[in-house]
Amino acid sequence: MLIPTLKTLFKRDLTRLISELESYNHERNIWLVEKGISNSAGNLCLHLIGNLNTYIGAVLGNTGYIRDRPSEFSLKNIPRKELIEKVEATIQVVDEALTKLSEEDLAKEFPMLVFDEMTTTAYLLVHLTTHLTYHLGQINYHRRLLDNI
């Protein structure tokens, strides 16, 4: 029961991420930072891609993805089209990995220590949906605040 819900939420919010990127009037503003804003929308997007491809793609889907977390925040000026392609690929990775899971797998311990203590796979996946929506909201606010500069 939870797996179809998770698949729906991840697809919905990653599709919204694409919509946010497409909604910038000025592509250069995706990478803008201003006083009091430490991360650009582009870097938050890269962070979400890295996060989901690590914990869902590599750990649960065995994709072989290797995360470079510092680059998620240091890379700049990646074209919008490339960011969108990366998000679209992430949608596919997440869907394929979640499709391989059973409801019984959700009750098992997540195979990697992410927090101070081990959690179930269900707990971590729910956490990842809230992490995605948290940063999606930041990106939405970033666009509305800084895309007119």
Q: Which amino acid is at 92?
A: Q
Phi/psi at 120 (nearest 5 deg)?
A: -75, 160
Q: Closest Cα partner for 146 from 46, 45, 31?
A: 31
d(CA 26, CA 28): 5
pTM of the model: 0.97
Cα distances from 16 to residues 35, 37, 126, 127, in angstroms, run: 26, 21, 18, 18
Tokens of 44: 């938050």
Residue 116 lies in domain:
2-146
Q: What's the distance, Cα to Cα, between the start and end of the chain in Å?
A: 45
Residues facing 120 on adjacent strands = 109
Measured CA to CA, the distance from residue 122 to residue 80 in angstroms comes to 32
DSSP string, 58-84: IHHH-------HHHHHH-----HHHHH
Mean pLDDT by 10 residues, the chain (149 residues): 97 98 97 94 98 98 98 98 98 98 97 97 98 98 91
d(CA 24, CA 44): 15
State the CATH number of the domain containing residue 127: 1.20.120.450
Q: What's the pLDDT score for residue 148?
A: 84
Q: What is the pLDDT of residue 96?
A: 98
Domain tally, the chain: 1
DSSP secondary structure code for residue 110 in this structure: P
